[in-house]
Each structure stands twice: as C-alpha cells, then as structure tokens.
C-alpha cells in the first residue's frame, strides 16, 4: 500500500512539473486561470486510468459517492456543476433510474434530472470541498450503473483541455478531470 502511495505521489509530481512547463497557462497566478475550477470524484483509481473505482450497494440501501471541487478562492458567485447516471455500457441488462435506483439528496428526497439527464450541484462561493452524490437501490434488478461528473454524451480529448469543460459562464469555468470523471456502482 505504501509503495502504491509513493508511486502515485511521484506520478503527480511529474505531471505537475511537466504540465506547468508544457502549459504555462495552467500555473497559479495566470490571469486566464483565476476563475477556472475542477470537479471530479474524490476517490481515485489507478493512474493512468483513474476511472476504475467501483462501489457496491445492497438493495434498499443508499450509497454516498464523494465528489470534490478544486478551488483556491472564495468568490461572490456559486458555480454549478452537473452529474449524470447511465446504465453500464455494454452489459445488455440495463438498470432503470426510478425503477431500480434513484438519485436522492442528503435527507433521502428523490431528485429529478433535467431534460438532458443532468443533476445539478452548487458550490457556494466557489469554495473547495467535498459533496456527495447519493444513489439509492430500490429493491429492483441487480446490475451496474455509471455515475459521471462529465456529460456522457460528449467526448473528451486529453490533448485538448477545452474538451474537458463541464460548464462555462461569463463568470467562471468548471472542468472535469480526464482521469477521474466516472465511477461504477454495482447494485447487489
């Protein structure tokens, strides 16, 4: 476990050094980056990859999946981000939201997605932190779903940072992490 942590730390150090040299616009203190934030899942899988985290949930139970907002500032505005759930691609045995599972808030109230399938999350005053996405299994079928912090109908190109944008307004931009934008939830 300690070896994995050391390897992970070295990779992050390498990436931060190489990114700042190759992309000076990503460095702290760059005016163009003052209102750019990042949103992803708090728990990371292997690097590279990062999208291999799996959670298990029993029928009738609620699962909390932590997400993280990266910011070094407190602002007058409160950025909105979006997250999504979809059936597990390629399984053929699709779980249905509202029938096999629901997304709920912290108190257990069922949330409804917008017309695009997105659930909204707000980060008050752009403060960094962790908020959970809650998935409740409804004693329906067993199987798997994916939870995304990036619109699953869009594609991301890791060589083009503009394709990682979750939302962009006149005040701020929030980007996804290309290595940590979905997790798998297995309903047993």
pLDDT tens-digit readout, 71-107: 999 999 999 999 999 998 777 778 999 999 999 999 9
Q: What is the DSSP secondary-structure string of 23-77?
A: -GGGSTT-GGGTTEEEEEESS--STTT----EEEE-TT-EEEEEEEEE-S---SS
With beta carbons less than 8 A apart as the criterion, state whether 68 and 129 touch: yes
For 93, other C-beta atoms within 10 Å of its C-beta total: 10
What are the distances in angstroms from CA 73 to CA 41, 76, 84, 172? 20, 10, 26, 12
With beta carbons less than 8 A apart as the criterion, state whether 55 and 133 touch: no
Report how far residue 149's alpha carbon sits from residue 73's, in angstroms, rounded to the nearest whole number.
21
Per-residue pLDDT, 47: 66
- In 3D, which of 69, 92, 57 has the Cα closest to residue 183? 57
Query: For residue 38, what pLDDT band results from cuts at 50, 70 and 90?
Result: very high
pLDDT tens-digit readout, 44-55: 766 666 688 999
What are the distances in angstroms from CA 158 to CA 2, 82, 141? 29, 20, 35
Per-residue pLDDT, 111: 98
Tokens 């394709």: give the residue.
163
């Amino acid at each position: 476990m300690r070896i994995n942590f050391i390897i992970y730390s070295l990779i992050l150090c390498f990436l931060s050094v190489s990114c700042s040299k190759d992309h000076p616009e990503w460095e702290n203190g760059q005016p163009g980056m003052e209102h750019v934030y990042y949103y992803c899942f708090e728990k990371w899988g292997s690097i590279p990859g990062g999208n291999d985290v799996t959670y298990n949930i029993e029928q009738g139970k609620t699962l909390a999946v932590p997400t993280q907002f990266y910011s070094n500032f407190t602002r007058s505005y409160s950025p909105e981000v979006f997250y999504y759930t979809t059936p597990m691609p390629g399984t053929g045995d699709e779980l249905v939201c509202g029938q096999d599972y629901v997304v709920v808030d912290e108190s257990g109230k069922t949330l409804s997605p917008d017309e695009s399938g997105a659930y909204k999350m707000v980060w008050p005053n752009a403060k960094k932190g962790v908020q959970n996405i809650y998935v409740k299994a409804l004693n329906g079928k067993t199987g798997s779903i994916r939870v995304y912090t990036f619109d699953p109908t869009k594609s991301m190109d890791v060589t083009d940072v503009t394709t990682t944008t979750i939302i962009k307004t006149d005040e701020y931009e929030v980007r996804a992490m290309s290595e940590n934008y979905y997790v798998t939830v297995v309903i047993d």
